[in-house]
Amino acid sequence: MFSLSETTWDGLKKVSSSGEFTLKSGLKKFINIYKIHNVSERTNKMKKFIKLTIIIFAISLFHNFTYSQWVSVTSGTSNFLTSVQIITNNLTYACGFTGTVLKSTNIGQTWTPLTSPSSGNINKIFFPATGNATTGWAASVSGLYKSTNSGQNWVQQVASTVFADLLFPDLNTGLALTSNNTLRRTTNGGTNFTSINFTSDASIHGIAISIGSSSTYFILGLDNVVDTSFIFKSTNAGVNWTQTAKLPLDYFAMTFVNASTGIICGDAGIMKRTTNGGTNWSTINTGTTNDLQNIKFITSTKVYAVGSAGTILKSTNAGATWVAQVSNSTAALRGLDVMSTDDNGIVCGASGTVRRTTNGGSIPTGIQIIGGEIPGSFSLGQNYPNPFNPATNITFSIPNAGYVSVKVYDIMGKEIADVVDQNLTPGIYTADFDASALPSGTYFYRLTAGSFTETKKMILIK
């Protein structure tokens, strides 16, 4: 249980004073000692050992590069990065602790620091994708700030208030959620704000706000003293609010794709989903016990979540099932955004950590077209070899251009990997699947293309 008086809470997101989550890990060192009595023999063996070490190191570098889902990027700061927003491939903003504001014009490959609104921690930055997206807002622990020149300068619009989240559907209409039981609402770009209590219970603190439609908004509230979370709903664009759910445990993030379907996540990997506008919530198995700090619908079916210990999760069925992705990081992650059009994505977090992807975080696989023949029908071939260890090939035929998916599931029906997740032209293809990280057992792989679906079984023996 956490108390708001503890320094481990900033903007009601659980972090340590250094911005890192507390992790316990052990490292075992194995040392092989060889007794070599002959000097020349020792010299020759040392040369062989050094050569072997270099080869192994080179192979490990190649392996990490080849199979990395998310690539490390230098942000230029060691401050905790709390939020990131990809507006276009040429414009991305990020923010974080001690007033950090960053800008990228190449999808996060390089970053430029911008003027800080204040020295306080910034929990959220948002630029409505209207016009050239030069006007935006920053929700800080010291107030709410607005920029009209792409973050070069900032003007404080609300002072002496801790803001946890904000939402501006356009340049005029906006809601800024405080860390207590109130929010600020504007219809003229922040020239005037109306203070609204989304609940009369002062022990409930605002955590996140999400939009389901032009008139339907949701707020996630938390009473962390008693480890209880609350869902509030407005059907008139944030003017009036009603409580729709009271849930045990601490939830830290929320996302809605429409007025009916939404997901919340939080402490120790907990997650729930609603399909009736927040009235009822069903538990989702995420496959992790790490804290989940952020979640976002990218499309109606594609969802990402991030959290402690470098956790990145992806769902391709609106949050029903989840697959862990490789972040190559142990840092706490909170900022998250992925483009719906081309799968360019960025996550960020503790110590200035930034990871970026250009393929939605999928492990690169060898997908090759076989010959120039256009098949007359859809088909899915038996993988070869089968049984296999650790890699196998999957062949499939596509007579029409369109989106193609090949997924792998375990014996319990849990999605394990995306082998193919992209648009393909007509042809006969072969795709490589590497199961090095999986245990021996029976697995199923499924081809989905248009209305066609076919599933086959394969056996991994190690």
Task: Clarify whether residues 286 and 143 are in a common domain.
Answer: yes
Task: Clarify whether residues 93 and 186 are in a common domain.
Answer: yes
pLDDT tens track for 119-171? 999 999 999 987 678 999 999 999 999 999 999 999 999 999 999 999 999 99
Predicted confidence band at 28 (pLDDT cuts at 50, 70, 90)?
very low
> Is 2 inside any structural domain?
no
Predicted confidence band at 334 (pLDDT cuts at 50, 70, 90)?
very high
Task: Clarify whether residues 340 and 392 are in a common domain.
Answer: no
Tell me whether the omega of the peptide bond preceding residue 439 falls within 30 degrees of 0, making it cis.
no
Mean pLDDT value across the chain = 85
Task: Clarify whether residues 379 and 455 are in a common domain.
Answer: yes
Task: Clarify whether residues 93 and 198 are in a common domain.
Answer: yes
Task: Clarify whether residues 170 and 224 are in a common domain.
Answer: yes
pLDDT on residue 342: 84
> Is 53 inside any structural domain?
no
Q: Is residue 364 within 8 Å of residue 326, measured between CB atoms?
A: no
> Is 55 inside any structural domain?
no
- Whichever domain contains 448, its CATH number is 2.60.40.2550
Within its chain, how far is the Cα of 341 from the centroid? 16
Task: Clarify whether residues 330 and 385 are in a common domain.
Answer: no
Task: Clarify whether residues 340 and 376 are in a common domain.
Answer: no
Task: Clarify whether residues 349 and 378 are in a common domain.
Answer: no
pLDDT tens track for 63-116? 333 334 688 899 999 999 999 999 998 999 999 999 999 999 999 999 999 999
pLDDT on residue 122: 98
β-pair type (391-398, 242-248): unpaired
Q: Is the full-model pTM beyond 0.95?
A: no
- Whichever domain contains 207, its CATH number is 2.130.10.10
Between 307 and 413, residue with greater pLDDT: 307
pLDDT on residue 365: 61
Structure tokens at 131: 């016009």
> Is 49 inside any structural domain?
no
> Is 32 inside any structural domain?
no
Q: At 292, is the secondary structure helix, strand, or coil?
A: strand
Buried b (16+ CB within 10 A) or exposed e, 50-80: eeeeeeeeeeeeeeeeeebbbbebebebbbb
d(CA 83, CA 197): 25
> Is 8 inside any structural domain?
no
pLDDT tens track for 390-441? 999 999 999 998 889 999 999 999 888 889 888 888 889 999 998 877 889 9
Q: At 42, is the secondary structure helix, strand, or coil?
A: helix
Task: Clarify whether residues 194 and 257 are in a common domain.
Answer: yes
Of the residues 324, 339, 357, the one at which a domain ends: 357
Of the residues 333, 357, 381, the one at which a domain ends: 357
Task: Clarify whether residues 327 and 443 are in a common domain.
Answer: no
What residues contact 26, with CB distance under 8 A and at least 6 apart? Answer: none
Q: Is residue 342 within 8 Å of residue 357, measured between CB atoms?
A: no
pLDDT at 337 over 90: yes
pLDDT on residue 401: 84
Q: Give the count of alpha carbons within 13 A of 290, CB side only.
A: 26
Of the residues 357, 381, 416, the one at which a domain ends: 357
> Is 442 inside any structural domain?
yes
Looking at the structure of the chain, the number of domains it has is 2
β-pair type (143-147, 242-248): unpaired
pLDDT tens track for 443-458? 999 999 999 999 999 9
**Token pair 């809605």 in the structure block, residue:** 256
Please give the average per-residue pLDDT across 184-212, as a whole number.
97
Between 61 and 169, residue with greater pLDDT: 169
pLDDT on residue 354: 97
Bridge partners (DSSP) of residue 456 are 445
Task: Clarify whether residues 398 and 328 are in a common domain.
Answer: no
The CA-CA-CA angle for residues 11, 14, 15, to 5°, reads 100
Please give the average per-residue pLDDT across 300-312, as a whole number.
96
> Is 24 inside any structural domain?
no
Instruction: Strands of 18-142 (E only): list them.
Output: 71-73, 81-88, 91-96, 101-104, 112-113, 122-126, 136-140
pLDDT tens track for 338-393? 999 888 999 999 999 999 988 888 755 678 888 778 899 999 999 999 999 999 99
Determine the structural domain holding residue 235 and report its residue range: 71-357
pLDDT tens track for 271-291? 999 999 999 999 999 999 999
Please give the average per-residue pLDDT across 4-15, as a whole number.
37
